[in-house]
Amino acid sequence: MNSINKLFETVFSPLAPFSLWIVRFTLGVSFFLHGWGKLPLPPTKLMALFERIGMVAPELMANLVALGEIGAGAGILLGGILKGNIGNIITRVSALGITIIMIGAFYFAHSDWFINAKLFKSEQIFLFALALFFLINGNKR
C-alpha cells in the first residue's frame, strides 16, 4: 500500500498547485456559460417561469439572473488571477452571488428536488457546494 501511495505522490504532487485552479475554472466557466445561454436578454424561458410563479418584475429578475451568472462566473476566474485583497474580495463576492442564485434556483425552479436523489444527481448541487467553498475560503490555498 505504501508503494501505491508513493506512486500517487510522485505522479500527482507536482500538480497540487493547479488543483484549486481546476475547481475555480470549472465553477467559473460553468456559471458563466449558464448565464451566456440565457442571452439575448430578456431570457424568455426564465421570464416565463418567473411569470408563472408570480414573481414581481419577472423580466427584470430574469435579466438580473442571467447577468449575475455571467458576472459571477467571470468574477470567480478574475478573483483567482488578481492577487491580494482585491482578488480575495472578488472571489468571495462572486461566490456569494452564485450561492444566492443557486438558492433561488433550488427554491423557484427545482423545489421538488430539495434534499432528495434528484438534487444529488444534478450539477446544481456541485455548483452550490463549490460556491460555498469559495465563499468560505476566498483565495486561501
pTM of the model: 0.86
How far apart CA 57 and CA 20 sit, in angstroms, is 38
What amino acid is encoded at 100 in this protein?
I
Percent of the chain with pLDDT over 70: 92
pLDDT confidence tier of residue 28, bands split at 50, 70 and 90: very high
Phi, psi torsion values for 69, nearest 5 degrees? -65, -45
- Please report which helix (H) or strand (E) contains residue 20, including its range: helix 16-36
For range 86-109, the mean pLDDT? 93
Residue that has been written with the C-alpha cell 485552479 in this structure: 21
How far apart CA 20 and CA 36 sit, in angstroms, is 24
Q: Could you tell me how far CA 92 lies from the centroid of its own chain?
A: 11
**16 vs 43, more confident:** 43
pLDDT confidence tier of residue 116, bands split at 50, 70 and 90: low
Cell numbers found for residue 131: 460556491
Class of residue 47 by CB neighbours under 10 A (exposed 0-12, middle 13-18, buried 19+): buried
For range 22-38, the mean pLDDT? 96
